[in-house]
Amino acid sequence: MALYFMFMLPGILLMFWAQAKVKGSYAKYSKMANSKNMTGAQAARMVLDANGLHNVPIEMDKNPRAELSDHYDPRSRKLVLSRGIYAVPSIAAVAVAAHEAGHAIQHATGYAPLKTRTALVPAVNIGSNLGFIVLLAGLFMQITGLAWAGVALFGLSTLFAAVTLPVEFDASKRAKVALVQTGIVDGGVAGGPEGKGVDTMLNSAAWTYVAGFAASLMTLLYYVMLVTGMRRD
């Protein structure tokens, strides 16, 4: 048990820190209006239209209590924004909305990491549901091959988390550029105070994905150690 916590603690601490960081950034910049008095939905529409994606709809999350539930759905090709992003003219709102628009642009341009992540989803769903069960069965019955199969299934989640990193970083990069090019922040001048707020907001959000990958990787390494020790026994 002590060894388990030794593996898990760094990832857990990083996850808590990252979540606190993004919540703190959101709490600050959701209260700061942008100079254009533009809501997240309006900013996303402008970014999408500037990239020829006039047919990508933008909807508000049906759950009024949802916070930072914003996402782009590649299956229905639509943006879904939480109420605090969709209808609020804040720096945080335009940052998050433009980030999600960045995913739509990735989809339209055939961005390879996004295609890879989307293709992994069915396998990851299976792996996340069965991986631990198969691993546990292998350990309990002392069947090394079965235990390794469980590790491999869980490893799909770690691979998914790894592929997610370039997808999210690229979407944020596209968002920062688009917000300047469309003149939504700082009148189209890079490096202004609104742009710095956007950077802080999106960089904070990026840490949650780094933390998620780190936690998944440490869990995977722990499982590998268990099965390797089983082989030695």
Contacts of 30 (CB under 8 A, 6+ apart): 84, 88, 90, 91, 92, 93
Inter-helix orientation angle 144-181/91-109, to 10°: 110
Q: Please tell me which residue in 59, 100, 168, 194 is annotated as part of the active site.
A: 100
| Token pair of 152 as six digits | 């491999």
Rounded distance, CA 22 to CA 200, Å? 9
Inter-residue contact 4 to 218 (CB < 8 Å): no
- Which residues have C-beta within 8 Å of that of residue 61, sequence separation ≥ 6? 69, 70, 80, 81, 82, 83, 86
Query: How many CA atoms are closer than 13 Å to the CA of 21, on its beta-carbon side?
Result: 18
- Phi-psi domain of 188 (left: phi exceeds 0; alpha: psi -120 through 50; beta: other): left
194 is catalytic: no
Residues designated catalytic: 100
